[in-house]
Structure 1
Amino acid sequence: MSVDAREWGWEHSSSKGVARLVLLSIADRVPDEHCVAWASLASLVTRTNASRTAVRTALAALAESGELELLDHLDGPQRTSVYRLPRAAAWLAKVAEAAKDDPDAYVEPPTASDPVPELDQEAEKKLRRYGIWPKKGKESDPSRRNPTGAESDPPRRNPPPRRAGIRTVEGTDSAPQNRSKPKVNRRYSSAAVIPVADWRVDPASRAWADQHGHLARLGEAGLHAADAKWRAHRADFKPRPAAAWAADWRSWIARENSPASGRPNRYAVPDNGGPSATGGMTRAEAHTAALLAALGEPTGEGAAAQ
């Protein structure tokens, strides 16, 4: 139903600027055809990205224009304010009435003279499922904690103000109270960080290598060799989330050259069984050997024998 209320706001509301954002933010929470919704000032400030003063001014302007009504006899969750969009409710009632005879009937645009449906007690009872209740203080009002309205039921307590109450020394795991102990891994709060040695090629990364032709280009052995080189070069890196390691691994595989027979591997990892490990050459010697091999000159012990 919030879709219909938002559509009215977009198409027929005369509000502008911050007032329009406030109206649409409230319309986004409308649960049924009565166009009643709760909203706190803090939530409206966050949603509209406006100042508290600007939001208060917008609420006053909307109320003056007749597009918003404060229902001061109702409370939302945590005693938040409850509002109604009366003209939106009138428009939806007009559309529903026309649809009874012809679902495709043309409906005239809303006007200020369109009657607003009455918000009776039955409609207010339905609002309780959305956390909207009558304010305390009337004998006829049932208790919020006990829908039957038993006298023994305690009234709902007012929420404590921010930064009030007794804080434990330890705090909690999810929100530490001690400011000297900030949360760790704030950037990757939704994923645990691991060292590269603990990361394994996941099925999605292997499917990516196959889909982009890297598996066919490098071959199974070449892919394993490239993986070993990547791990050796990342051994000293700080732990990262698995998704970050996967992205870095794919970037490495995409840049890896196809293995060629008859020439040494210029980037072979020490002790991986490659030419540099077998011959015990340094990287400079391996580069020299690769150059001589390309020119057809003998290298290593064969050159010494000649």
Structure 2
Amino acid sequence: MSSEAREWVWEHSSSRGAARLVLLSIADRVADGQCISWASLSSLSKRTRASVSTVREAVERLLLAGELEQLDDLVGPQRSTVYRLPLAAEAIAQALREQREEAGGTAVSDEPAGPAKLRLSALRRYGIRPREVPELPTRGRKPAVPETDRSRRKPAQPRTGYRHSDVPVTGTQNRSEHDLNRKYSSGGASVTSAAEWQVDSATHTWARQQGHLDRLGEQGLHAADAKWRAHRAGHSPRPAGAWAADWRSWITREHTPSSPNLYAVPGKNTASSSGMTRAETHTAVLLAALDESTGTEG
């Protein structure tokens, strides 16, 4: 049927120039009397030797003139656009009716159907099929399906009375949670805070063997310990071994007091005529406050 469609374009189409070439190229792919064809802008541009923009304008002119229809609900080979030549289809249908009348009313098998009722089964042989467009949810629109009771149901509140049978009534369920005595469990090793950690006998023996006790003196070692606890107050709990190693490193870096007056006696005048500077006086007051008993010692 492509020859009949091309003949109609040559004899009856009012198109001119590039639009006429585009219509002839589309008519060249007409499959049957329905005058359905397919083409893409790039293929039409290649066949007519015109630019894509020129082909697009030509197609628009043909659509406005009614000599071409674009069937958006169909798709051709390689997802090309499907067109129909309605005037050519009417002319071919009229010619078939005349042939039927001349044959004495005998039905003609190739008689095309009307524009609203296309024979899709015949078009599938040429790779033309209905376009499958997935239904995408509209942004901001509620779903058409009514909500079920499950979707409107609020999440159930946790049941406070339900517990696993293997969890005791008292005590923590997670080893990383705080216990009542502020001790922690991590991999089986007990951890504590810097304020609760106590210098054990091994650490005290180390300080004596390394000469730190003789270098700092008992009072200086006590002051260094107080400063270490003040600096480590905000640190997270650690195992006792980690605190011991950190404490030893602190004591090793602690400077030897340059004067016994550096550690002032509580209640005494720190600004005496000992020759101390203002900075030394402030340091002595701070160390005296750290050395003062607070009544919380074990």
* Shared fold per TM-score greater than 0.5: no
TM-score (norm: length of structure 2): 0.41
Larger radius of gyration: 2
TM-score (norm: length of structure 1): 0.40
